[in-house]
Amino acid sequence: MAEFANQQPLALHVPEPKARPGAEPDWSGLNLPPVGAQPRPDEACTAADTWPLCTDLIRVLDENGQAVGPWNPRLDPETLRAMLRNMALTRAFDERMFRGQRQGKTSFYMKCTGEEATSVAPAMALAADDMVFPSYRQQGILITRGYPLIEMINQIYSNKADKLKGRQLPIMYSARDYGFFTISGNLATQLPQAVGWAMASAISADTRIAAAWVGEGSTAEGDFHSAMTFATVYNAPVVLNVVNNQWAISSFSGFAGGERQTFAARAIGYGVAGLRVDGNDPLAVYAATRWAANRARSNAGPTLIEHFTYRAEGHSTSDDPSQYRSAQERSTWPLGDPIVRLKNHLIALGEWDEDRQAAMDQELAEAVKAATRAAEANGVLGHGLHHPFHTMFEDVFETLPWHLQEQSEQAMRERRIKWPDWRPEDGDDMP
């Protein structure tokens, strides 16, 4: 050991964000390339042809609200207005549900404020029957696909009309008829599931592709790398989306590896196509998703897309971001707000104005309010009107195992002891 005595001691690097609470935000290290300067390779190109875009940033909307460059999807005004409406409805829904949680009507909620483009624009770029495997911040997909707001609220309130019968954490929706795979609280499990579904679609010579979403923190999970391996080995027709919103619940993206390289660059190591896109630019997100979907549908392989965006609100209603990041970050985020940017684009085209925006916002707020009232008639957290007690033991086994049958009978006996006046003909909605 004597020969190493004079060597410098090893040191461990612990990532640290540039600004903590009380400090001014520092975006000096953020490289924003010129809008419209990014080349758009052919959808049938080799994966290597996309790799320069993994460290670039695909941008379409400039500061004047104009769409420029080869990635401009050239959407018609009607489609642009529909996209704006879907994003505004998603935000209005979030605001109402956040208030509901604060009023004790549900235990938990997660907003996607500032990230609406990363779910609404892809939902409009994909085919309606493509299968999506979302994370917990893609409520915009369900809203864009027309899933009834009341059904979403029933699930959030875990009331008697909740189609998932109170078995899922609020906001973890499941909608088979809308091509929306069940959300899981286990991070990144949806990625290998999406790849497996896409492989099955290819095996059966179907025409539908799969798409999945995770946050940047989830790329540190083993499931992310398993999914990437299977996707590249079997050329699965899948689009894998990484929503880099800069923060996990309290740790910044550097803890997932974002300090050293972009998340899109992970595509290079796996030999698949990769794109890095301005996640607050709805047109850029739409164009990148359509490009990747067309590529998958033509058997050219999977694509990894990094959506570079910012989580404007807390991670969830259980989180206080003021405890770990600068309070000024949201207002100084250089890429702005996706709803404002699309609104300004429509105004620049002469297809929209502030009065119509205000009227639409009011209309959507009233629509969400009406759906909320209708859902509340089915019950809210802690106020009864839940699913019948016996459903706790249903829908898992075709034939209930003996030990669960015993538990069910014991639970019913104890319930009758606690509420001796209850009769079966009164229904099973016992207090």
Per residue in 8-52, pLDDT (tens digit) is 999 999 999 999 999 999 998 898 999 999 999 999 999 999 999
Residues 313 and 394 in one domain: no
List, for residues 70-105, the tens digit of each pLDDT value.
999 999 999 999 999 999 999 999 999 999 999 999
Q: Are residues 283 and 346 in the same domain?
A: yes
Note whether 195 and 302 are same-domain residues.
yes
Cα separation, 122 vs 278, in Å, equals 13
Residue 42: inside a domain: no
User: Rounded mean pLDDT of 153-176?
Assistant: 95
pLDDT interval class at 230 (50, 70, 90):
very high
In a domain, 123, yes or no: yes
Please check whether residues 303 and 417 belong to one and the same domain: no
* Shared domain check, 412 and 298: no
Indicate the SS3 state at residue 412.
Answer: helix
Query: Are 279 and 416 contained in the same domain?
Result: no
Q: How many CB atoms lie within 10 A of CB 409?
A: 11
In a shared domain, residues 412 and 347? no
* Assessment of whether the complete model's pTM goes beyond 0.85: yes
> Are 142 and 136 a contacting pair, CB within 8 Å?
no
For residue 332, report the phi and psi dihedrals to the nearest 5 degrees.
-105, 0
Q: Does the pLDDT of residue 379 top 60, yes or no?
A: yes
Residues 6+ apart with CB under 8 A from 254: 15, 16, 17
What percent of the chain lies above the pLDDT cut of 90?
87
Mean pLDDT value of segment 308-333: 95
Please give the pLDDT value at position 152: 98
Are 397 and 277 within one domain?
no
Looking at the predicted structure, is the pLDDT value of residue 429 above 80?
Answer: no
Lowest-confidence pick of 13-17, 227-231, 239-243, 393-397? 393-397
**Domains in the chain: how many in total?**
2
129 in a domain, yes or no?
Answer: yes
Is residue 297 located within the same domain as residue 224? yes
Residue 26 lies in a domain: no
Q: Write down the pLDDT at residue 416.
A: 82
Residue 399 belongs to domain spanning: 389-426
Note whether residue 243 is domain-resident. yes
Paired tokens of 117: 């483009």
Give the model confidence (pLDDT) of 135-158 as tens digits. 999 999 999 999 999 999 999 999
Residue 317: name the closest of 169, 135, 116 by CA.
169
Higher per-residue pLDDT: 203 or 394: 203
pLDDT digits (tens, 9 = 90+) for 190-213: 999 999 999 999 999 999 999 999
Q: What's the pLDDT score for residue 1?
A: 58
Q: Could you tell me if residue 10 is inside a domain?
A: no
Computed over every residue of the chain, the mean pLDDT equals 94
410 in any annotated domain: yes
Write out the H or E segment, with its range, that includes residue 226. Answer: helix 222-233
Residue 430 has pLDDT above 60, yes or no: no
Q: CATH no. for residue 144?
A: 3.40.50.970
Q: Give the pLDDT mean for 395-411.
A: 91
Per-residue pLDDT at 269 exceeds 90: yes
Are residues 126 and 250 located together in one domain of the fold? yes
DSSP 87: H
- Whole-angstrom distance between the N-terminal and C-terminal Cα of the chain? 72
Q: Give the pLDDT band of residue 431 (cuts 50, 70, 90).
A: very low
